[in-house]
């Protein structure tokens, strides 16, 4: 966290939406361009996975009986 907080913010990129995007129904990702995007190098860190999906907790009574 200290490394991330010590980094100087970079300039915002320019987001442009094409004139071809006429409505939300026809909007496509390719209608968007991102120019002058800069990022800092990645910060490497360990990741601990805790918890997770416990199927037994989420089973219905019928599933528990194998129906």
Question: What does the pLDDT read at residue 54?
Answer: 74
Q: How far apart are CA 30 and CA 18, in angstroms?
A: 9
Checking if the pLDDT of 27 tops 90, the result is yes
pTM for this predicted structure: 0.50
- Segment 5-19 shows an average pLDDT of 96
Q: How far apart are CA 13 and CA 39, in angstroms?
A: 10
Confidence of residue 62 (pLDDT cuts 50, 70, 90): low
Confidence of residue 44 (pLDDT cuts 50, 70, 90): very high
Query: Which residues touch 32 (CB under 8 Å, ≥6 apart)?
Result: 15, 16, 17, 18
């Amino acid at each position: 966290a200290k490394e991330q907080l010590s980094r100087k913010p970079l300039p915002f990129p320019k987001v442009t939406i094409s004139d071809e995007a006429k409505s939300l129904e026809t909007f496509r990702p390719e209608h968007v361009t991102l120019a002058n995007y800069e990022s800092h190098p990645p910060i490497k860190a360990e990741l601990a996975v805790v918890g997770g999906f416990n199927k037994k907790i989420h089973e219905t009574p019928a599933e528990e009986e194998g129906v």
